[in-house]
Structure 1
């Protein structure tokens, strides 16, 4: 009896020892399949999270959070381990015959099953909950100031730069600074110089941020607000806003208004002077065109060689070309690059003639210059103001236009209302239009011996003429004639396509040609000439359509049909 009990106890103990590994062996095939499925799900989830991270990191604005970084690393390590275990499991053919007998390498399969079981637990721990990685990146903290590569600025007015620099770093009460001026005048270059100086100086600012307002950003509005607030809260920062076209509510784009003690500064550039008022600028500065000496330097830089190395004729032609650009940096750069590599005086003479007569035909003028200046014209966003602006093309280059005369012409053309409208109302409207054109830096204003005047910068006038002529497609739509030779029969023949013709200046002494049929001619100026006689049949071809006839200051006309 004792022997029998002892035998039963022995069998029971042996069975207890064997039952656990046998359980592992029986579950191995199912667990391997479960592990394979869990591994596939983790791979897919990891790929989705990684794609989201890389999309947000693109452009260097953000970096993955530590939580996401650790999870991706653990998943990759887990996947590598699972792949090895799955290869090992597939090598055990004995898995297929577990139901027949106990395999001879029971110990190794037992270890494998135990490892598979552990990995299933790891897979469950790595599985993410819904929405767990809603935020996968954080805003990448920039260096305090980004030293942006830029050429040494040519023609920068040092005294004006020093004045703005003083506003930025010294005058605590100055919070918002506006730099304004016409398109292409160098406002961005001016502000780049401020940014570069901030990168070199010990100025006490924690962050300097550059934003081109007219270009879209990669972030959504909410993301931009969130990230900027995160970056700027409790920081002393300078925000540089380039190319501002309307008032910008800083609080709505994530710029915290923290009071005078915070020490923040906002510097912006704009072509519209009224934006300076709308932004509450404490200080403003007009960025103006270059003086002749500086203009020649920037032109030389862009033709790629010193004019000293050229023959005298090319040097003289180059000075005339620079004069045509009237100190506008963007025009000097565009024309200079167009002349790079040209060594023949004939090419330079042709370029000067083209620049004077049809500047839009010069290489890159439309793409690199007029399209940029045209933004100012488009920003008027009002057909009346646009029509009043391009009307100024009828006046010669650099002409001082008397404001009252210009408004009277606008009224006569019907640009400011119908003939039934009150004339005083139309004059008020004219003053408003003129104010808008000056605030858009499309008209310049000043005073001479006769009182106030307005005028167009030559390059702005060229751009406006290009628009008037259907952007170069209708050369004869507008004709401005200032030379006697332009009154030849060949030139007069072009009047048949014209809508507006302007004869102007003392060089014109004779009108001895009768124009062809002028069925489209609505406006004719014959002003300040030395013409003595107008042929009897001169107006016959245009009398049915002519709306405006201006014969101001022709003192010598003795006979008028």
Structure 2
């Protein structure tokens, strides 16, 4: 008797579930086709919204902004459900063919009921993602973008913000010292083309593609960090004219490159003034760190002064000090920067080695020797050009006698080369033409001189340590 009752209950439960599947509120079989149509429509709408947001995010990222985490998460969930829906729709034809009796029944009720339930579930998920795909903001400023913007407004974020309304497309290309035309073409095409078909093309085909694309647009092209002339025709970039309204902007450390590129307008970027340098340094270090000890703000200002307004130094040294919580670490950092700055963390790798590119760009060894010689003068020392040339002749860097016009002219040519490379700055000493060296560049020159001096047994310089005897590390 007990077994009979148990069997009756099991049959009732099975019957109830079957009836609910066929006739209840969740009639997965009867509603299957309608839900499939609705799912296909909703999924297409979701894909279009995803693509629209992706394009907007790309524009924001070009401005130096960073995609919000909630936007990134939403896009990831859309990609996941897109794949799931695609797999589900592959069985559409098979499952709908099983339906019969006005789609109230199926030739395989269990399979159709399960499939219909999955379709209904995915439809709800897609609609939920559609409703959540409305964002007031897609991206936000990130620290790197802020630092770069302060860094003499020389980044893609600044360029986009200034020109996005005036130009159809803004392109930023990092050229660097090792000039490769293929690399420049690739960076331009990544900005211009949504697909990656161009990757299979030859350099000549890429040139034609760039020309056809930019020829129809009003564009601005920023070539960052030029060390030599770039042949725009070889890349495929059409020349800007008053008619097309396009512009080409480039940054370089060499005035000679400006001449080679036939620049119409030249703007020299100077180091930051003291107040702006401090604001940048303070923002990188962080207010929380500055508040850890009453002496840290004073030490921070002293360390900031050791950067001499150079954004590269402010950025690197500021990041290094942002995690220093002990006031003794700040005292030590100031002492190192005051005596042996090349020993400061990241100084050699991220500051001196970067500045050394300008030194490496000097074509003649005697010009390099003349530059290194200038580091032997005290900080901020202004030396007249005539006096400096006499020293160079005396050291044998320039052949000839002091009163010979040829030797004197050669000296002025070398000074001109160093000024155009921004390794020396022109000034006046008692109304006479003079030059001086930026303090950070002087540190770089002393660093180079010390390294090469040890290797070649020529010279070894220790700056600002008030030597009273020969150092132990000099044999």
TM over 0.5: yes
Aligned partner (choices 384, 388, 391) of residue 366 of structure 2: 384
* 1:264–1:309 distance in 2 versus 1, CA, 3 Å: same
Aligned partner (choices 411, 427, 447) of residue 446 of structure 1: 427
Taking the aligned partners of 1:290 and 1:429, their CA distance within structure 2 comes to 33
* 1:487–1:377 distance in 2 versus 1, CA, 3 Å: closer
Is the Cα contact below 8 Å between 2:223 and 2:250 reproduced in 1?
yes
Report the alpha carbon displacement of residue 269 of structure 1 after superposing the two structures with TM. Answer: 0.5
Please name the residue that 1:548 is paired with. none
Please name the residue that 1:368 is paired with. 350
Q: Find the residue that maps to 1:255 and give its secondary structure.
A: coil
More helix by share: 2
Aligned partner (choices 139, 148, 173) of residue 211 of structure 1: 173
Report the alpha carbon displacement of residue 471 of structure 1 after superposing the two structures with TM. Answer: 6.4
Report the alpha carbon displacement of residue 287 of structure 1 after superposing the two structures with TM. Answer: 1.2
* 1:212–1:487 distance in 2 versus 1, CA, 3 Å: closer
Please name the residue that 1:268 is paired with. 250
Is the Cα contact below 8 Å between 2:173 and 2:224 reproduced in 1?
yes
Map 1:18-57; keep pairs closer than 5 Å.
none
Taking the aligned partners of 1:495 and 1:250, their CA distance within structure 2 comes to 51
Please name the residue that 2:315 is paired with. 333
Q: TM-score, normalised by structure 1?
A: 0.52
Taking the aligned partners of 1:303 and 1:226, their CA distance within structure 2 comes to 48
Map 1:309-328; keep pairs closer than 5 Å.
309-328=291-310
Q: What do residues 388-426 of structure 1 show as CA deviations (whole Å, max 9, x unaligned)?
A: 111111001111111111111111111122x47983211
Compare 459-468 and 217-226 and name the one that shifted more. 217-226
Q: Find the residue that maps to 2:306 and give its secondary structure.
A: helix
Taking the aligned partners of 2:458 and 2:284, their CA distance within structure 1 comes to 33
Please name the residue that 1:165 is paired with. none
Taking the aligned partners of 1:445 and 1:279, their CA distance within structure 2 comes to 24
Map 1:402-481; keep pairs closer than 5 Å.
402-417=384-399, 419=400, 423-470=404-451, 477-479=459-461
Please name the residue that 2:161 is paired with. 196
* 1:336–1:273 distance in 2 versus 1, CA, 3 Å: same
Report the alpha carbon displacement of residue 154 of structure 1 after superposing the two structures with TM. Answer: 5.5
Report the alpha carbon displacement of residue 452 of structure 1 after superposing the two structures with TM. Answer: 2.2
Map 1:462-501; keep pairs closer than 5 Å.
462-470=443-451, 477-479=459-461, 486-488=466-468, 491-492=469-470, 497=475
Q: How many residues align?
A: 318
Is the Cα contact below 8 Å between 2:338 and 2:464 reproduced in 1?
no
Is the Cα contact below 8 Å between 1:207 and 1:236 reproduced in 2?
yes
Report the alpha carbon displacement of residue 360 of structure 1 after superposing the two structures with TM. Answer: 1.1
* 1:421–1:455 distance in 2 versus 1, CA, 3 Å: closer
Is the Cα contact below 8 Å between 2:372 and 2:445 reproduced in 1?
yes
Q: Find the residue that maps to 2:230 and give its secondary structure.
A: coil
Q: What do residues 433-483 of structure 1 show as CA deviations (whole Å, max 9, x unaligned)?
A: 100100011111122434222111111110111100116967993336668
Is the Cα contact below 8 Å between 2:172 and 2:222 reproduced in 1?
yes
User: What RMSD in Å do the two structures reach over aligned CA positions?
Assistant: 3.2
Q: Find the residue that maps to 1:369 and give its secondary structure.
A: helix
Taking the aligned partners of 2:255 and 2:411, their CA distance within structure 1 comes to 19
Report the alpha carbon displacement of residue 288 of structure 1 after superposing the two structures with TM. Answer: 1.2
Is the Cα contact below 8 Å between 2:450 and 2:461 reproduced in 1?
no
Q: Find the residue that maps to 2:396 and give its secondary structure.
A: coil
Report the alpha carbon displacement of residue 364 of structure 1 after superposing the two structures with TM. Answer: 0.7
* 1:240–1:496 distance in 2 versus 1, CA, 3 Å: closer
Is the Cα contact below 8 Å between 1:360 and 1:472 reproduced in 2?
no
Is the Cα contact below 8 Å between 2:336 and 2:343 reproduced in 1?
yes
Report the alpha carbon displacement of residue 152 of structure 1 after superposing the two structures with TM. Answer: 5.1
Is the Cα contact below 8 Å between 1:303 and 1:336 reproduced in 2?
yes
Taking the aligned partners of 2:373 and 2:206, their CA distance within structure 1 comes to 42
- Structure 2: unaligned runs, 5 residues or longer: 1-57, 59-139, 187-198
* 1:494–1:149 distance in 2 versus 1, CA, 3 Å: closer
Taking the aligned partners of 1:212 and 1:284, their CA distance within structure 2 comes to 19
Taking the aligned partners of 2:247 and 2:143, their CA distance within structure 1 comes to 23
Q: What do residues 337-385 of structure 1 show as CA deviations (whole Å, max 9, x unaligned)?
A: 1212212222111111111211111111111111111110111122111
Taking the aligned partners of 1:148 and 1:438, their CA distance within structure 2 comes to 37
Q: Find the residue that maps to 1:261 and give its secondary structure.
A: coil
Taking the aligned partners of 2:379 and 2:146, their CA distance within structure 1 comes to 29
Is the Cα contact below 8 Å between 1:237 and 1:265 reproduced in 2?
yes
Taking the aligned partners of 2:143 and 2:209, their CA distance within structure 1 comes to 27
Aligned partner (choices 194, 212, 218) of residue 230 of structure 1: 212
Aligned partner (choices 296, 313, 325) of residue 278 of structure 2: 296
Report the alpha carbon displacement of residue 320 of structure 1 after superposing the two structures with TM. Answer: 1.1
Q: Find the residue that maps to 1:242 and give its secondary structure.
A: strand
Is the Cα contact below 8 Å between 2:358 and 2:421 reproduced in 1?
yes
Q: Find the residue that maps to 1:394 and give its secondary structure.
A: coil
* 1:374–1:155 distance in 2 versus 1, CA, 3 Å: closer
Map 1:128-277; keep pairs closer than 5 Å.
151=144, 153=146, 186=152, 188-189=154-155, 192-199=157-164, 202-203=165-166, 205-214=167-176, 216=180, 217=183, 218=186, 221-257=203-239, 259-277=241-259
